[in-house]
Amino acid sequence: MKTLKELVRPAIWDLKPYSSARDEYHGTATVFVDANENPYNAPYNRYPDPMQWEVKEKIAQQKQINPTSILLGNGSDEPIDLMIRAFCTPRVDNIVAIDPTYGMYQVSADINDVAYRKVPLSADFELSAAAVLAAVDEHTKLIFICSPNNPTGNELNRAEIYSILQGFDGMVIVDEAYIDFSSHRSFTTVLDAYPNLVILQTFSKAWGSAGVRLGMAFSSKEVIALLNKIKYPYNINQLTQAYALELLDRKGEVDEWIRILLIERTRVAQLLNSLTIVHHIYPSDANFLLVRVADADKIYKQLSDQGVIVRNRNSVSLCQGCLRITIGTRAENDIVLEALKNIAL
């Protein structure tokens, strides 16, 4: 790996971050008249903890990660954007990512005017480290890997991911948005072994809180410190921090949701298999199934006419003819299956 100083944009390396009132004073005083807050309307009158230590401590305990190795963001979208802004000089540096994958990496790269290089997965959606590393040049700062991958649903070959971590001298971002639905282990267990590893997780999927907008990035404390320098000072509001503390105490309930969704994933796959319009169901380590059907556009239209909205992935590379179907409640899944039975091609 190159040194962080060699990888980071010079302007960001030299940046002196905004210092808020809450950064400068830590402790328990009697009167806070340092931040021009209104004394009325407690508790919302106070600026929230810019570093969200209480929430991080709780996540740290559950995931066995040091709190200083955690960044919280407004969804995973925020750390994706922060990584690009921290490491990639516009029109100079580039990003390498697998294709197909989650759309936000490219959108964020485009917004930041950073070149985005796509490396196709194989026809069975497998990752080739050699192909990814072949796309790298001296201006490649980041590699995005999503595993389990969206929209394909599969966990990518771990040995290939390790080859990329070992063979690339920049940062490797492994997006684990769906890890809680996977039978495989998270890369968080090897965080200490790879200083160039950044792992993304989110409260949007297994934790059932997409509406709250809370994402996590895990990395070395040096990389996290760098991202802290450029994030908005109060990026996680008080309501979200309070909610997250409460949600993290409901881990047992979350595990039960996951258990039920995995049973449903198996059941839905089996029932889909018996439909003639379904040609192939791809293996899934996530809370959705990628399904190759007889005529994706036509089926998408007929499903939406019946009030059932799936994700049409027909125009996505390697996903021609495919619909992506999220696993819902048992009742919702039955409605989806019934609507599929009503399709007339």
Return the number of the residue (22 or 148) whose C-beta is nearest ligand PLP: 148
Beta carbons of 60 and 200 less than 8 angstroms apart:
no
Return the number of the residue (81 or 302) whose C-beta is nearest ligand PLP: 81
CB of residue 5 vs ligand PLP: minimum separation in angstroms?
29
Residues 50-79 that bind ligand PLP (CB under 6 A): 75-77
Could you check whether the bond before residue 120 is cis, i.e. omega within 30 degrees of 0?
A: no
**Interface with ligand PLP includes 285 (CB under 6 A)?**
no
Size of the site for ligand PLP (CB under 6 A): 13
Residues 144-163 that bind ligand PLP (CB under 6 A): 146, 150
- Measured at the alpha carbon of residue 207, what is the angle toward residues 204 and 211, in degrees to the nearest 5? 40
Which stretch of DSSP H or E encloses residue 325? Answer: strand 322-326
Conformation bin of residue 248: beta by default, left when phi > 0, alpha when psi is -120 to 50:
alpha
Window of 31-39, 55-63, 203-211, 306-314 that interacts with ligand PLP by CB under 6 A: 203-211
CB of residue 157 vs ligand PLP: minimum separation in angstroms?
17
Give the per-residue contact string, 97-136, with ligand PLP (x = CB under 6 A; - = no): -----x----------------------------------
Among 52, 69, 202, 219, binds ligand PLP (CB under 6 A): 202
Window of 91-99, 201-209, 246-254, 267-275 that interacts with ligand PLP by CB under 6 A: 201-209
Q: How far is CA 138 from the centre of its chain?
A: 26
Beta carbons of 338 and 330 less than 8 angstroms apart:
no
Give first-to-last CA distance, the chain, whole Å: 54
Residue nearest to ligand PLP (CB): 75
Q: How far apart are CA 132 and CA 125, in angstroms?
A: 14
Residue with tokens 């282990």: 185
Among 52, 154, 188, 204, binds ligand PLP (CB under 6 A): 204
Return the number of the residue (152 or 302) whose C-beta is nearest ligand PLP: 152
Return the number of the residue (170 or 215) whose C-beta is nearest ligand PLP: 215
Return the number of the residue (41 or 62) whose C-beta is nearest ligand PLP: 62
> 10 Å Cβ neighbour count for 161?
21
**Interface with ligand PLP includes 177 (CB under 6 A)?**
yes
**Interface with ligand PLP includes 175 (CB under 6 A)?**
yes
CB of residue 204 vs ligand PLP: minimum separation in angstroms?
3
- Measured at the alpha carbon of residue 257, what is the angle toward residues 252 and 260, in degrees to the nearest 5? 125
Window of 114-122, 204-212, 218-226, 264-272 that interacts with ligand PLP by CB under 6 A: 204-212
Helices (H), 65-220: 77-87, 104-111, 129-134, 158-167
Q: How far apart are CA 105 and CA 174, in angstroms?
A: 12
Window of 25-33, 199-207, 225-233, 248-256 that interacts with ligand PLP by CB under 6 A: 199-207
Give the per-residue contact string, 210-249, with ligand PLP (x = CB under 6 A; - = no): x----x----------------------------------
Helices (H), the chain: 4-7, 10-13, 21-24, 53-63, 77-87, 104-111, 129-134, 158-167, 221-230, 238-248, 251-273, 296-305, 330-341
Task: Name the nearest CA neighbour of 154 among 282, 13, 322.
Answer: 282
CB of residue 76 vs ligand PLP: minimum separation in angstroms?
3
CB of residue 305 vs ligand PLP: minimum separation in angstroms?
27
Interface positions with ligand PLP (CB under 6 A): 75-77, 102, 146, 150, 175, 177, 202, 204-205, 210, 215
